[in-house]
């Protein structure tokens, strides 16, 4: 008879492994070393949003390059008359300055959040939200002006009818993101000022909100370059 040892199968290993997996997921364990779940999920969301904006801008460039009708000149369409002079893209330039400035206040808010300076963090986030609201207000003025001048999704007085559809689709979708960001930042700022994150020590939520806001600002840079300057 063979004297080789008998190997016994541990039938409890699989259930314990499953319990361990469920425990890890249910207790919000961190993945990818020190990357927090919330931050990882925000990056995934922003990646999906990048695909959507890329499709919009690619479609816009394709339509503009393929149309046989003259495309409206953005310098004329988006000009404002101030003191009797027509100034091209002046409103768009101000909007861009406001939104880029909000990136600076958001970056400072994140910096103060990791220093546990509750008041400075909350006030800087509210300042960022105010700049975002100012941007949306100027965009609403721009929409109102162009609608009064006859711009529609199916046509406009200056040339290619696709201009109206491209304008409302791209700027509208971005404006929706800015509006959501204003609500998002205001909510987080109020919670910061109320000491919610002081008690649980999870100031990372400010950085996660900052990721969203910086993404919105970056997308506007591409819209400004491709839609207004081309």
- 211 assigned to some structural domain: yes
Q: What's the number of domains the chain is made of?
A: 1
Kindly report the CATH number assigned to the domain that includes residue 67.
1.20.120.80
Mean pLDDT for 165-189 is 96
* Spatial distance between the Cα atoms of 146 and 157, rounded to a whole number of angstroms: 10
Range of the domain at 64: 33-228
Residue 14 domain-assigned (yes or no): no
Q: Percentage of residues in the chain with pLDDT exceeding 70?
A: 85
| pLDDT over threshold 80, residue 121 | yes
- Is residue 34 predicted with pLDDT exceeding 90? no
Helix (H, G, I), strand (E, B) or coil at 87: strand
Contacts with 121 (C-beta within 8 Å, 6 or more apart), sequence order: 109, 112, 113, 189, 192, 203, 206
pTM: 0.83
């Amino acid at each position: 008879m063979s004297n080789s040892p008998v190997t016994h199968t541990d039938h409890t290993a699989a259930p314990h492994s499953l319990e361990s997996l469920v425990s890890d997921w249910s207790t919000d364990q961190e993945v990818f070393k020190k990357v927090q779940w919330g931050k990882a999920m925000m990056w995934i969301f922003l990646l999906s949003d990048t695909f959507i904006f890329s499709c919009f801008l690619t479609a816009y460039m394709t339509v503009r390059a393929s149309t046989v009708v003259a495309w409206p000149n953005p310098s004329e369409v988006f000009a404002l008359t101030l003191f009797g002079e027509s100034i091209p893209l002046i409103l768009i330039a101000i909007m861009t300055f406001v939104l880029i400035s909000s990136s600076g206040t958001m970056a400072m808010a994140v910096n103060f959040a990791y220093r546990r300076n509750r008041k400075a963090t909350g006030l800087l986030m509210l300042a960022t939200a105010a700049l975002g609201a100012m941007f949306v207000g100027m965009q609403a003025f721009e929409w109102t002006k162009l609608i009064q001048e006859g711009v529609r999704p199916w046509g406009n007085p200056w040339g290619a009818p696709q201009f109206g559809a491209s304008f409302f689709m791209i700027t509208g979708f971005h404006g929706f993101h800015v509006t959501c960001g204003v609500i998002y930042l205001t909510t987080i700022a109020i919670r910061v000022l109320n000491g919610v994150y002081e008690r649980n020590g999870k100031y990372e939520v400010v950085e996660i909100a900052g990721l969203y806001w910086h993404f919105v600002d970056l997308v506007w840079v591409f819209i400004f370059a491709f839609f207004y300057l081309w």
